[in-house]
Amino acid sequence: MTISMEFLLATGIGWVTACGIYLLLRGRSFTVVLGLGLIGYAVNIFIFAMGRLWRGAAPILGQASPQLADPLPQALVLTAIVIGFATTAFVIELALRSRHENGSDHVDGDEPGERR
């Protein structure tokens, strides 16, 4: 039995997404930031894989070639990386401010097991 590259790529994207969702559902703000980052990476890999990787294809559409490389997924992923970096920096700042104001790094500001 041989495993195809498409199956391996889809499984890898699925595992990264599942780990990101698991971290998002945790109660601490640091794990939420890590989960958002992992989901962003999974989406970037998915978008890049949808552009079909060609071996030996011309990078510019004007040249005569039976297979043409599509630069759109690469541009989308590059833009998503920049936006993801800015969003991560903003969420980290929000988490630090919440930690400073509430005295806890739990997402809702309450430590588990404490009563108010």
Stated pTM of the model: 0.74
At residue 63 the predicted structure's pLDDT band, cuts being 50, 70 and 90, is: low
**To the nearest whole number, what is the mean pLDDT of the chain?**
82
Specify the amino acid at residue 88: T
Q: State the Cα–Cα distance between residues 7 and 69, nearest whole angstrom.
A: 22
Give domain limits for the chain. 9-51+71-102
Identify the top-confidence range among 28-32, 36-40, 52-56, 57-61.
36-40
Phi, psi (degrees; rounded to nearest 5) at 103? 75, 15
Percent of the chain with pLDDT over 90: 32
Percent of the chain with pLDDT over 70: 75
- pLDDT higher than 80, residue 2: no
